[in-house]
Structure 1
């Protein structure tokens, strides 16, 4: 396992990822983070023709004005203002426990960024 801290190393780049995990192109990747990192990852995997191996989770709406959000798997709804992370909006408005990001099965070779 390799941990990357933005404070010490800056935002992770795709070139740095290739140096950390040389066989990245043989793995499924779960990415969650700032919009800039996710956009960079999507461009990178699209250019390499491996877009189907990249799984992205966004915790903020893509709009700044906010609106009603539907969580696909649970069917739950929450109102988000566009500045609040979606998990926080879900926790504030729903009596059920907050949604948890899907964790890849341990038996699969994967990368989480």
Structure 2
């Protein structure tokens, strides 16, 4: 999936870079007036900013999609293999899967609240 997404992104980035390259070539030629040069420069700067924004957004969006799919697969695998806990090290998460029976969140919250209130 990562390879497929990369190809899609590279195609879009390539098209945007080609457009910017053509603008840059026009800017370098001496055959345009100062007002045309000014307009082209604004378009070039805007296009460059849009390309940077696209790169960042595309990468974040694709990473999110990939991790969403991976987590779905991890959940399926865990259930099929009867695993209670799978530990990983990617995407800022150390637990990739945990059986709901292992969840002690409510118990922990009660403990923390009691400690905070001074109740033992």
TM range (shorter): under 0.3
Higher helix share: 2
> Greater Rg, structure 1 or structure 2?
2
- Bigger strand share: 1
Relative contact order (alpha carbons < 8 A, sep ≥ 6): 1 or 2 greater? 1
TM-score (norm 2): 0.22
